[in-house]
Structure 1
């Protein structure tokens, strides 16, 4: 067996863009390498000297970027191995996820957010859906199904139901890059509170190929009912996340 250690990955020097501090550019470069699998979950980060040389930044800038990645839950400090990539490559707090939305939250973290629209249509709600959305039976709803990507990697499948009454013009939105929550905000129905739950389950035959998983590999299933400031339900969302690319963090008390 060849025991020759793998060489440390190469990085392009970060270039100032005038809009972001250097540490943010370094943070985003490392986050992209982690998301893309160049630095896989459980692996040790290259030495600070190597990273500083490759990225052409000072030790202070690098350490600030590493601290930011730790705060995001992307890396962790190990007494024996230095900085180590956490197994879950994408991480966020439930409060932000519930109220800010997937697109805005991940844009704020420097991630490229895109989607493949699997279904987009207006139809009548079933009796059960009418109860979920607190609308009259048979009310018109907008249904949206997407496969969502972060930095080009498939992360989750989403299924949204929105009462048509709160979503004027929604059919014209390009949801390959557009945000459902941003559109709701533009119509005066920004989510203000939410009921949120999460559980683990094996991937189904439909979910597995979309998320590049084997059938019955673990996924995390979330259900979120979003309400506006007046207490009206504005969206009911079901999501299936790859368990190795998603981490949910809660602050209790």
Structure 2
């Protein structure tokens, strides 16, 4: 582990004529340190004030460099704690109906789940259309925060039809929902429809993840369907953009 003095020395900006914007010079130094392993995952960077004092660089320049690295997923902020080097992203295959707990553990990481709310709510029109029920029909709505190695990486809102899973909310939902639906309700998914798009984390998701609203994120909307076409689960996942790497392995037949 580098000492604070070594960190500050490593991150000191050394400008040369024609190098380009100074914030890119600092960005490149930090990125090189991460790439070469001199700044391992979890390393806390010096504060903006320390970087400013050590390098003589303007505070605004330092912030531009840090924001650029955050947008690239190389570093992240902890609320009221500072900037840290991001851990490796988890590989996510949206074509599988493997639960979060399973595919994170398969990659040698430690998953955990915390149920924030679970309630019965009347279906709004858009959701009612998805489940093919009348607007106002009560549906299970579950909000959970999920972590990898103790770091919160996503907040999800899951809707399930009580007609398919009566009493679901009586279960502990801090583990695998996939396992509960399979073992207790014999619900098996035949098809997944997945939409993904970059997003700015909305207020409830940002607060649950301990970041500022507007922080870059990835929204994954998944509709899981049974063999007969009934919707088993409708899920909105708000991911930290630096926590996930989407990977799909397809066999292409000529």
TM-score interval (norm. to shorter): 0.5 to 0.7
In structure 1, the partner of 2:229 is: 231
Structure 2, unmatched stretches of 5+, are 10-32, 40-84
In structure 2, the partner of 1:37 is: none
In structure 1, the partner of 2:164 is: 166
Partner of 2:102, secondary structure, is helix
Q: Kindly provide the CA deviation profile for residues 139-197 of structure 1, in whole angstroms up to 9, marking residues without a partner as x.
A: 33111001111121101000000000111331222112x22111111211122211001
- How do 1:51-130 and structure 2 match up within 5 A? 88-96=88-96, 99-130=97-128
Report the Cα distance in structure 2 between the residues aligned to 1:114 and 1:196, rounded to whole angstroms.
23
Where in structure 1 do 4 or more consecutive aligned residues deviate above 3 Å? 1-6, 40-43, 85-88
1:120 to 1:3, Cα distance in 2 relative to 1, 3 A? closer
**Which shifted more, 136-145 or 215-224?**
136-145
In structure 2, the partner of 1:221 is: 219
Partner of 1:168, secondary structure, is coil
In structure 2, the partner of 1:180 is: 177
Q: Kindly provide the CA deviation profile for residues 76-107 of structure 1, in whole angstroms up to 9, marking residues without a partner as x.
A: xxxxxxxxx997522222223xx112222223
* Structure 2 residue corresponding to 1:44, chosen from 28, 37, 42: 37
In structure 1, the partner of 2:15 is: none
Q: Could you say which structure has the larger radius of gyration?
A: 2
CA RMSD of aligned residues (A): 2.8
Number of residue pairs aligned between Structure 1 and Structure 2: 179
In structure 2, the partner of 1:74 is: none
1:207 to 1:152, Cα distance in 2 relative to 1, 3 A? same
In structure 2, the partner of 1:143 is: 141
Q: Kindly provide the CA deviation profile for residues 48-95 of structure 1, in whole angstroms up to 9, marking residues without a partner as x.
A: xxxxxxxxxxxxxxxxxxxxxxxxxxxxxxxxxxxxx99752222222
In structure 1, the partner of 2:22 is: none
Report the Cα distance in structure 1 between the residues aligned to 2:179 and 2:166, rounded to whole angstroms.
13
Structure 1, unmatched stretches of 5+, are 7-39, 47-84
Cα distance, 1:41 vs. partner? Answer: 6.0
Cα distance, 1:2 vs. partner? Answer: 4.2
1:233 to 1:41, Cα distance in 2 relative to 1, 3 A? farther
1:89 to 1:129, Cα distance in 2 relative to 1, 3 A? same
1:201 to 1:42, Cα distance in 2 relative to 1, 3 A? farther
Report the Cα distance in structure 1 between the residues aligned to 2:152 and 2:113, rounded to whole angstroms.
9
CA contact 2:200–2:214 (8 Å) conserved in 1 = yes
Cα distance, 1:231 vs. partner? Answer: 1.8
CA contact 1:189–1:229 (8 Å) conserved in 2 = no
CA contact 2:90–2:104 (8 Å) conserved in 1 = no
TM-score between both structures, scaled by the size of structure 2 = 0.62
1:189 to 1:95, Cα distance in 2 relative to 1, 3 A? same
